[in-house]
Amino acid sequence: AQRVTQPEKLLSVFKGAPVELKCNYSYSGSPELFWYVQYSRQRLQLLLRHISRESIKGFTADLNKGETSFHLKKPFAQEEDSAMYYCALAGSSNTGKLIFGQGTTLQVKP
Amino acid sequence: GAGVSQSPSNKVTEKGKDVELRCDPISGHTALYWYRQSLGQGLEFLIYFQGNSAPDKSGLPSDRFSAERTGGSVSTLTIQRTQQEDSAVYLCASRGLTGELFFGEGSRLTVL
């Protein structure tokens, strides 16, 4: 079965500290993975996707097929990073249907 | 429009009533999705429409839920005989050419 697990509901760090939001997936084929973010009072939006291999707002995520993980990292957290983060897996039917994790709330304290 | 539009933004209803939620996707986007967002449950896939193909209804939680998409554009999600466990934010998204999903602001449903 295809599944996305985000083990932390809440992650609280101080400004300037490193951040790692964990994501593990279960999928038998070649996965396509995404991170979506929802800032307070804003709509859910794409943050980054693994095939782009890019850094957005200082965040990066590396696909580790051996550990079936796609953790989101940032070396120095900023207060404006506070938001809800969802990891998502594209399903096998090539429909673009995304399977989302339960989400992690990142709280960056001043 | 500039983005995916959903209405109503908030809906409070009594248990047992029917509700309709509307989604107007980005013009030209042929794929449309409905998700349900609730505390502790993350984002739950409900249904997917692609052009004239039969919709993927595999995520609908019960036969009280249905959705249609008329003219390949606007979609309506209908919940019949609402229950308290239906309370959630219902999100609609349409898919762009790069595969990115563009979400609406959601319809918050509260069933009393």
Percent of chain B scoring above 90 in pLDDT: 78
* Average pLDDT value for residue range B83-98: 93
Output the pLDDT for position A92: 63
Output the pLDDT for position A87: 96
Residues of B in Cβ contact (< 8 Å) with A6: 42
- CA nearest neighbour of B101 among A98, A63, A70, A52: A98
Contact B42 A96 (CB under 8 A): no
Burial bucket for residue A67 (CB in 10 Å: 0-12, 13-18, 19+): exposed
- pLDDT of A48-69, one tens digit each? 998 887 888 999 998 998 999 9
Checking if the pLDDT of B92 tops 70, the result is: yes
Contact A45 B103 (CB under 8 A): yes
Chain centre distance of CA B67: 8
Residue A46, chain B, CB below 8 Å: the answer is yes
Output the pLDDT for position A93: 60
- pLDDT of B5-47, one tens digit each? 999 999 999 999 999 999 999 998 989 999 999 877 789 999 9
Pick from A6, A43, A86: CB nearest B105: A43
Residues of A in Cβ contact (< 8 Å) with B31: 95-96
Cα-based angle B47, A64, A107 (whole degrees, multiple of 5): 70
Output the pLDDT for position A37: 97
User: How many whole angstroms separate alpha carbon A49 and alpha carbon A69?
Assistant: 13
Contact A86 B43 (CB under 8 A): yes
Q: Between B106 and A30, name the one with better pLDDT.
A: B106
**Pair A14, A108: CB distance under 8 Å:** yes
Which residues in chain B (51-90) have CB-CB distances under 8 A to chain A? 56
Checking if the pLDDT of B91 tops 80, the result is: yes
User: How many whole angstroms separate alpha carbon B80 and alpha carbon B106?
Assistant: 19
Q: Please, which pLDDT band fits residue B70 given cuts at 50, 70 and 90?
A: confident
- Which residues of chain A have a pLDDT value below 70? 92-96
Contact B103 A99 (CB under 8 A): no
Output the pLDDT for position B1: 52
